[in-house]
Amino acid sequence: MNVIFLGPPGAGKGTIAALAKEKLSVPHISTGDIFRSAIKNETALGKQVKSILSSGELVPDELTIDLVKERLKEGDTSGGYILDGFPRTIPQAEALETFADIDFVINFTVERDMIIRRLSGRRIAKESGKVYHILYNPPKTAGICDITGEPLIQRDDDKEEAVINRLEVYERQTAPLIEYYTENGLIRDVDGSDTPEKVLASFLTVIDEGNG
């Protein structure tokens, strides 16, 4: 099963993908995670995209498309995958069609106020990659990752100024994908405002029905 997770920043795509990958035994491929890991490791890619991510703008299509195309060639994708955060533009979606066969596009819907609450409280652990929320998904000890014990940090692009820009970028460049995938019949809406367990259950029901 090849699935795309679509939705505004903060909709819970990464959180649900982390839960769903265990249930479905498929890799969770997040372009944002790939870029952040390149930045952390100071690779050539990381140096190229660092300031773009901080500002909340999008990495150029060509670069992002090539990266995903290569990633999907890896052996772990043969039983399916979850693409989280790609495509984010119409040209990316058009390119994806030339090298992937997508079964469903899950559109996580969440109101703007909730998006802002989620993004402003999001904290991440760089080493473990785990995502927390200061209120909704706190670690056992405040400010410390449960797995590695490292200090949690706020992403640069979760700071207020970048958040407003990212929501604009989403509306302008990514939201048109909803219509694109509605026209070809792949879109499935999932209410992302419930608890992660309930959102996961809705997602699993939707893909089960689609297969039945």
C-alpha span between 106 and 104 (Å, rounded): 6
The two structure tokens encoding residue 77: 């994708």
The answer to whether 95 and 176 are in contact (CB under 8 A) is no
Q: Tell me the three state secondary structure of residue 153.
A: strand
Interface with ligand ADP, residue 13, by CB under 6 A = yes
Binding track, positions 116-135, relative to ligand ADP; x by CB under 6 A: --x--xx--------xxx--
69-98 residues near ligand ADP, rule: CB under 6 A: 85-88, 92
**181 in contact with ligand ADP (CB under 6 A):** no
Beta bridge partners of 98: none
Among 3, 19, 186, 199, binds ligand ADP (CB under 6 A): 199
Nearest CA-CA partner of 177 in 8, 1, 2: 8
Identify any residues that bridge with 83 across adjacent strands, giving them in sequence order: 4, 29
DSSP result, 3-61: EEEE--TTSSHHHHHHHHHHHHT--EEEHHHHHHHHHHTT-HHHHHHHHHHHHT-PPPH
Among 104, 166, 188, 207, binds ligand ADP (CB under 6 A): 166
The only residue of 3, 9, 28, 81 in contact with ligand ADP, by rule CB under 6 A = 9
Q: How far is the CB of 55 from ligand ADP (least distance, A)?
A: 8
Of 2-10, 73-81, 95-103, 176-184, the segment contacting ligand ADP by CB under 6 A is: 2-10
Residues with catalytic function: 13, 88, 122, 155, 166
Interface with ligand ADP, residue 201, by CB under 6 A:
no
Phi-psi region of 27 (alpha: psi -120 to 50; beta: other; left: phi over 0): beta
Measured CA to CA, the distance from residue 155 to residue 177 in angstroms comes to: 26
The reply on whether position 136 binds ligand ADP by CB under 6 A is yes
Rank residues 34 and 207 by Cβ distance to ligand ADP and give the closer one: 34
Residue nearest to ligand ADP (CB): 32
Binding site for ligand ADP (CB under 6 A): 7, 9-15, 31-32, 35, 52-53, 56-59, 64, 85-88, 92, 118, 121-122, 131-133, 136-137, 157, 166, 195-196, 199
